[in-house]
Amino acid sequence: MPLAVEVAAKTDVGCVRANNEDNFGYDLRYGIFVVCDGMGGQAAGEVASKLGVDTLLSYFRRAAQTGEYQQAGAPMDGLSKEGTALASAIRLANHTIFETGRQQTASAGMGSTLVAALIKGNALSIANVGDSRIYLIRQGVIQQLTQDHSLVMEQVRRGYLTREQAEHSEMQNIILKALGSEESVDPDVEDLVVLAGDTLLMCSDGLTKYIHDNEILQMVSAGETLSQRCSALIQTAKHRGGDDNITCLLLRMVERPWYKNIFHAMFSGDPKWQNSF
Amino acid sequence: MAKLILKFEQNILKEVGLANETFTIGRLPDNMLQIDNLAVSGHHAKIYWDGDHYAVEDLGSLNGTYVNNQRVGKAALKSGDIMTIGKHLVQFKDEVQTAASPKPAEKPGPVTPKLDATVVLDTKKAQDIIAANAAASAGSGPLGLSKPAPSPTPAKERFGILNVLEGRTDQKQYVLTGKMAMIGKSDMATIRLKGFFAPKTAALISKHDNKYFITASDKKSKIKVNGEDFAGQKELKEGDIVEVAGVKAAFSFQE
């Protein structure tokens, strides 16, 4: 039976910051989902994260029109066509943000994290730059699919820090990779598989710095609708301080027979895509 | 009256009073405080009266404006704060504030955003810091690590192997290096089934915390491990026999 994707996404400025530098977007027609967390003084962070989301969405929309994926940078070994496309789209986004930052002094030094998922049937390709995350919740188990490109997590991986020390470190805000900070970027891209019943969570660090993995598991498994679960996650993060912008995009894989799919497409009224805002 | 003290390497170069509502700092001569140094942007930052306190705002400078060593876009200033502009230091002093209002910090003014914004280390800097950390792992590291983590030997990664005993597949042996490996006829399958009636997707083997689990890819698919049916997901152990879609395979760990 074909797999269909249900989606809900929300972003919140949090309790402390004056502006929201997070952004997200998706297009169910092409199975592309993106969350970005921007950084940089004044409005530059907002510009960077918006550029990140826009570049990815338009890459896959354009590919659907031309029928082929535009290649940017050297193809990575052992990746599917979709994974390679995701890497290309991210390199283009990096280039766009880097050039914009260089041309406009007001946005110099801007950058953005990015997590993206591309879903075609059972095939899932994910990509990551920075410290936003993708989690997979399957059969009552939560698994972080991405590795943070942060100084503290790099130290955890090398065995200099424990996970507990990392969570209390003052240097959690230092990341090692971002879109737009250097001329080229080397994203993590991986080809994976999704099954009916799986839930994917894509989020900015404003969420994960307040909510532990096992709490996420509980909260994602409870609640009526996907959108309510999104709100519950964001409310909890705000309740615990919310000193950063919080973004949460939830995806659920459902089995839907083809005739119901058509019915759903015609009458459900759910948006098929959501551009950056 | 509030004033700014311009310093360069311990030497006081200049003192200026903040007479205007807005006070600009930069390399070009049209600034009220000119700092003629290439590390300073043409129009680097401005200091202004923001309702009930002075604030500094970076004007999109290349090298940034720092208040007490924190890079800021915009920040409230209190007496004694030190701004870094390029290689120069600019100290902000406000006598009225310190003398007349004893606890300016407790004034219920507008909330100053916490300026712990995310920063990116460029690749080289990151490598330097991590390398320095490795070198200093015995003593106190430069990043305030007082001791190395108690578990310096991370669990050795081991890979699962699937040896096909019966059935038609594109290989006889598979080393499961990825996080997930699909069994099926589909293009995305790692363990590729052959034959007209083989299902596109039959089962998924996923790796999580150095353990392997097998799950049916959909409700129709039937999997047996050691001859027994199961629901949901099942951990694979050394020597387990997996049967799915007409294929029988043995699971083991690579040494």
The minimal CB distance from B232 to the residues A139, A181, A190 is found for: A139
**Interval B32-71: pLDDT, tens:** 888 888 888 888 999 888 877 888 999 888 888 988 888 8
Query: Mean pLDDT throughout A81-85?
Result: 94
CA distance A232 to chain B (A): 24
Which residue from A minimizes the CA distance to B135?
A160
Residue B144 in contact with partner chain A when CB distance is under 8 A: yes
Distance (Å, whole) CA A275 – CA A258:
27
Check B133 against A80: CB less than 8 A apart: no
Residue B60 in contact with partner chain A when CB distance is under 8 A: yes
Reply yes or no on whether the pLDDT at B146 is more than 60.
no
CA distance A41 to chain B (A): 4
Check B119 against A16: CB less than 8 A apart: no
Reply yes or no on whether the pLDDT at B152 is more than 70.
no
Reply yes or no on whether the pLDDT at A1 is more than 70.
no
Residue B132 in contact with partner chain A when CB distance is under 8 A: no
The pLDDT score that the predictor gives to residue A208 is: 94
End-to-end CA distance of chain B: 75
- Asked if B109 and B85 count as a contact pair (C-beta separation under 8 A), the reply is no
Residues of A in contact with B64 (CB under 8 A): 41, 109
Residue B135 in contact with partner chain A when CB distance is under 8 A: no
Reply yes or no on whether the pLDDT at B13 is more than 90.
no
Query: Mean pLDDT throughout A69-74?
Result: 89
Which of B41, B44, B120, B137 to mutate to test binding with chain A, by most A CBs within 10 Å of its CB?
B120
**Interval A39-55: pLDDT, tens:** 987 778 999 999 999 99
The pLDDT score that the predictor gives to residue B134 is: 62
Residue B147 in contact with partner chain A when CB distance is under 8 A: no
CA distance B98 to chain A (A): 27
Check B145 against A131: CB less than 8 A apart: no
Distance (Å, whole) CA B68 – CA B54:
15
Q: Which of A17-21, A149-153, A269-273, B183-187 shows the lowest mean pLDDT across its residues?
A: A269-273
Complex ipTM: 0.82
Residue B110 in contact with partner chain A when CB distance is under 8 A: no
**Interval A181-220: pLDDT, tens:** 889 999 999 999 999 999 999 999 999 999 999 999 999 9
Residue B131 in contact with partner chain A when CB distance is under 8 A: no
Phi first, then psi: give them for residue B223, nearest 5 degrees.
Answer: -125, 145
Check B149 against A161: CB less than 8 A apart: yes
B238: confidence class by pLDDT, cuts 50, 70, 90: very high
